[in-house]
Amino acid sequence: MVSREELLGLLKDMESDRVERTTSFREEKLGQAVCAFSNDLPNHKKPGYVLLGVEDSGNIAGKKVGDEELQKLGDVRSNGNVLPQPHLEVSPVFHFPEGDVVVLEVHPSEFPPVRYKGRCYIRIGPRKGVASIQEERVLAEKRASTARTFDERSCPGSSIENLSLDLFQLYYLPQAFDAETLEANRRTAKEQLASLGFYDPVRGMCTNAGVLMFGNNPLYFIKGAYLQYVKFGGTEMTDTVREEKEFSGPLATVLKNLDDFVKTNIIKQKPVRQNGGFQERKVFNYPVWALRELLMNAVMHRDYESNAPVYIYEFTDRIEMVNPGGLYGDVRPENFPDASDYRNPIVAAGMKVLGYVNRFNFGVKNAQKQLEQNGNPPAAFNLGLNTKFAVTVRANGEWDGA
């Protein structure tokens, strides 16, 4: 976190390409700057700084920074327009006689190329611009050479022939990029995949994220890449199994199938008379968006190195979801669900592009809100399992399974 003394030094340094000054809190301005510093094309391996409330000349602009402006800074990280999600720190507001200044500290990404609304921005000396094909290639190779998470590592034995290019180019790319960018695109399929983290250009293999998202047969390479649904006729696992279903294949299609299944097979409604009168209202067993958020979280955060699938157990009074992999990274029982970290950042970015993640780190909170509004008890999380993550969602209290 930047101190007041460090800020004074940054204000005086007019030559550094790691400092940007602006008086604007517009998301477009901030998003592009965050994207450029995250990519760290010069390979400084040090943070970049956006000084808000400062003119290009280095003079403090006389701005007043309040909660609304600080909220805009937080939105840059969580709204999903910068992908993969950036690592940001927001300083306290520094008060000077000339006005307020706040510093956005942007750390180099471990998962370049980073994009803002589909475009890859980089620093070119003291300015920023859109990366060329060659510059994007450099960033993709940098990520491949330092891959840390499972989804960004290369998948041994895989090749581009193992992916559905139609699914990637005809379905995914139009959602990942604006029409102008696609029109000007002269990249090969391998370059397109590599720039989004789905192909390793250094080793000439798909990444695990590529296989998961677009693989013709992901289970051939990643044995636990499926979801298992089981519906029981009672409240115990010893009760009769009424239905079983497996969801497998590329996530780009599995997610839609899962979404449709929840809406048509799990969500039920019935009329209930109000106060003994003739008027009726609809009662739902579960709010669809709560189940959707929790299931998408399970797919996004699970440990794909495990051979176990995500389990979805439906009982007459509740639904239990169990996925391999406990809390990850900076997330602990004491800070869940306020803290966030991503075991599969490339998969998470892909799910955001496809619309299955609306905002980062809001899934659990939104699910709890939806459950409350529908009359369900709060979702209960078992955070004591070292190798699993489990959540139980109980049906609306007025729902008797009929």
- List the end-to-end C-alpha distance of the chain, in Å, as a whole number: 56
Give the residue extent of every domain in the chain. 4-129, 133-217, 226-394
- Residue 312's pLDDT is 97
Tell me: the pLDDT tens digits for 347-393?
Answer: 999 999 999 987 777 889 899 999 999 999 999 999 887 789 999 99
Tell me: the pLDDT tens digits for 164-210?
Answer: 999 999 999 999 887 777 777 778 999 999 999 999 998 999 999 99
Q: pLDDT-based confidence at 34, cuts 50/70/90?
A: very high
pLDDT at 402 over 50: no
Tell me: the pLDDT tens digits for 48-87?
Answer: 999 999 998 888 888 898 888 888 888 898 888 999 889 9
Q: What average pLDDT does the segment 327-339 reach?
A: 82
Class of CATH domain 4-129: alpha beta
**Angle at the Cα of 304 from the Cα atoms of 301 and 310, rounded to 5 degrees:** 70
Q: What average pLDDT does the segment 133-162 reach?
A: 89
Tell me: the pLDDT tens digits for 222-232?
Answer: 999 999 999 99
Judge contact between 37 and 106, C-beta under 8 A. yes
Q: What average pLDDT does the segment 241-263 reach?
A: 96
- Residue 286's pLDDT is 95
Instruction: State the chain's mean pLDDT as an integer.
Output: 90
- Residue 367's pLDDT is 93
**CA-based torsion, 62, 64, 69, 70: positive or negative:** positive
- Residue 320's pLDDT is 97
pLDDT at 275 over 80: no
Just give the CATH number of 226-394.
3.30.565.60
